[in-house]
Amino acid sequence: MGKKVLVVDDDPDVRLFSVTVLEEHGYIPIEATNGEEGMEKIKQEKPDLLILDILMPRESGIKLYRTLRTDTSLEHIPVIVVSGIAKKSFLRSQKALAEFGGEIVPEPEAYLEKPVEPDVLADNIKKIIG
Amino acid sequence: MDINKILVIDDEEAIIRVLSISLKSDGFDVVTATSGKEGLKVFQKESPGIVLTDIKMPGMDGIEVLKKIKDIDSAAEVIIITGHGDIDNAIEALKYGASDFINKPIRDEVLTIALERAKERFEIKRKLKNYTINLEREVKVATTELRRRSSFLAKLIKSSNDGIVAADKDLKIVMFNPGAEHIFGYSQQDVIERMSLNELLSADIIDLFEEGIHYDKTTGELPWQDIDITSDSGEKNPVRFAGTYLYEKKKVTGSVAFFQDLREIRRLENQLVRSERLAAIGQTIAGMAHGVKNILHGFKGGSYLVDIGIERNDSIKLKKGWDMIQRNVERTSSLVMDLLSYSKERIPEYEKCYPNKIAVDVCELLENIANENHVEIINDFDDSISVVLMDPRTIHRSLMNIMTNAIDACLFDEDTSKNWRITLKTVQENNRHIRFEITDNGAGMRDEVKEKLFTSFFSTKGHRGTGLGLLVTRKMVEEHNGRISVASRLGEGTTFTIRLPYEMVKD
């Protein structure tokens, strides 16, 4: 049985792109359109990997990422961030949050800046969950 | 001249002696003469205030002495001493300006009364004279001051950069300074006494003027406001205008209007706006990278699906990929169009339109997306708004942009327990402006977001925004001579207010 990968993105085109890559490489894609829905799916489906957009309405991408990384029952799920913002900016924002009293959370397993080549995405998935 | 000095003239020394004793005891300073001729000499030397002279004397008689003394100094009081019953002479003496006459033999009490009266008259005359001199002096001072002030005012008016136009109560122009010549293009000769205020200014400015009087009846002053005037050559020149009615005894006697030339200021403002915009475009390009990355990602995804579709002859994949490419073509084009419309100047095209109708159209276009996101759109339209001359595209585009933002503000709101609501309100303002208010109860904004709203490329919307929507909106509103403003509280919502001027539709 193939591994389950949850794609969380509010942009349907980005989801379709990632889902197609997953299907093409024999994974089972699950979709969520925002952070809240993403959290529900994580609990229901227990995916093996999360492909996450961090820039979504209500900051729900970043919130999802931080909850995931601070919840002992979920922190083992690897995350690939696919985003239009540079990795530097994302890490800086996490550092700033930590300075303001938030928890220090580990970096994602992979950070891919858009536009992402399908092969690059597939390679990263393979590297993380085989 | 000394009122306490008396000259006594009589050819009878005994009488002089008696009178002298009596007058001296009354406190007078007495000088004497025994003939008319001598009397005149003493008068000139001593200048007494009162002369007491006998009428019948050898040589020069009393009447003659009286005439001569009055010639020398008309202020001197002359009392004539007449023989008993000599009424004719007495009357003649009075005719020549004698103050009084007393009969011989001289009775002390009569003399005292005559002297009292003479003193009083002298005093009154002295006061009158001083008063007259004073009055003349003051009139002179006042006249000089008046002349000085009026020439100062004339110079002020002449050298004022502001246009100053004064009219009489029939609106005929009576003053037109060089400043006004510069603004209106007419020369003084063309205007003064030849044109009426009605011909110089358009009807709505005259209306404004009259309205202003109702605005503040106590001063009759119209507060400064920005308007356009039409010059001699038909050019529309922007000016700041104020006026005042002139009153005299509560009746209007004329009016004065002041015009500040705003052409240069407007030119500089435009230049500033243009350079600000170019700077913003520079920042936009940096900021746009994010939007462009998202679009490129979409293209990549689309081509990936198309490739798979072609390879496997899978028409479903092909269709999905193609749709994706088309959607991203659309996004590219809206980004480019936004950039273009932001960087290019656009002159509004005024035409007949119904602002409320445009507002309804915008609400209908957004109805689906609002419903999908559980946002209710409420219309609150002012029914008194009718057909007007405005640029319908400015209204449509601005409302569309702000309403879309309002929906996003609800969508971005963390408090999902709210019933999200957007109210679009239209208000007719003083027959000259229409105000559009878009109020949402969504996420609201932090101050730092609010500050960045119009100043530079800025988006909080991730892949949704080009970061140009508000810039384009503000630009269009300002090109329509309107204003846009925003009030917002974090977590409570935002109100955008757009105020656009309109013109009445002329039949």
Instruction: Delimit the domains of chain A by residue range.
Output: 4-124
Cβ contact, residue pair A14, B327, below 8 Å:
no
A4-124 CATH, one of 3.30.450.40, 3.40.47.10, 3.40.50.2300, 3.40.630.30: 3.40.50.2300
Tokens of A127: 């590297």
Q: Would you say residue A121 has pLDDT above 90?
A: yes
- Distance between CA B69 and CA B39 in Å, rounded? 9
Is the bond preceding B348 in cis, omega lying within 30 degrees of 0? Answer: no
For residue B308, give the nearest of A20, A84, A117 by CB distance. A20
Q: Which residue of A has its CA nearest to B416?
A: A58
Contact B382, B426 (CB under 8 A): yes
Q: Would you say residue A101 has pLDDT above 80?
A: no
Q: Is the dihedral of CA B7, B8, B10, B12 positive or negative?
A: negative
Q: What residues of chain A lie within 8 A of the CB of B314, using their CB?
A: none
In tens digits, what is the pLDDT along chain B, a chain of 507 residues? Answer: 788 899 999 998 888 998 899 889 888 999 999 999 999 999 999 999 999 999 888 889 899 999 999 999 888 899 998 887 778 888 888 888 888 888 888 888 888 888 888 888 888 888 998 999 999 999 999 999 999 999 998 898 888 888 999 988 888 899 999 999 999 999 989 899 998 888 888 887 777 766 655 555 566 667 778 888 888 888 888 899 888 878 777 777 888 888 999 988 888 888 888 888 777 777 666 666 767 888 899 999 999 999 999 999 999 999 999 999 998 898 888 788 877 777 777 888 999 999 999 999 999 989 988 998 899 999 999 999 989 999 999 999 999 999 998 998 888 888 888 899 999 999 998 888 999 999 999 988 888 777 777 755 556 665 556 667 888 899 899 999 999 999 998 889 999 999 999 988 876
Cβ contact, residue pair B297, A118, below 8 Å:
no
pLDDT at B491: 87
Cβ contact, residue pair A84, B297, below 8 Å:
yes
DSSP state letters, B232-280: TTS-EEEEEEEEEEEEETTEEEEEEEEEEE-HHHHHHHHHHHHHHHHHH
- Per-residue HEC secondary structure of B169-217 comes to CCCEEEEECHHHHHHHCCCHHHHCCCCEHHHHCCHHHHHHHHHHHHHCC
pLDDT at B460: 61
Which of A111, A114, A119, A120 to mutate to probe the B interface, most B CBs <10 Å? Answer: A114
pTM value surpassing 0.80: no
Q: On the CB side of B417, how many CA atoms lie within 13 Å of its CA? A: 1
Contacts of residue A108, Cβ cutoff 8 Å, sequence gap at least 6: A52, A65, A78, A79, A80, A81
Cβ contact, residue pair A113, B293, below 8 Å:
yes
Cβ contact, residue pair B462, A113, below 8 Å:
no
Q: At what angle do helices B263-312 and A118-129 cross, to 10 degrees?
A: 70
pLDDT at A99: 78
pLDDT at B355: 94
For residue B290, give the nearest of A10, A85, A117 by CB distance. A85
List, in sequence order, every residue forming a beta bridge with B172; answer none if it has no partner: B196
pLDDT at B177: 92
Contact B219, B228 (CB under 8 A): no
Give how far A76 is from chain B: nearest CA, Å. Answer: 27
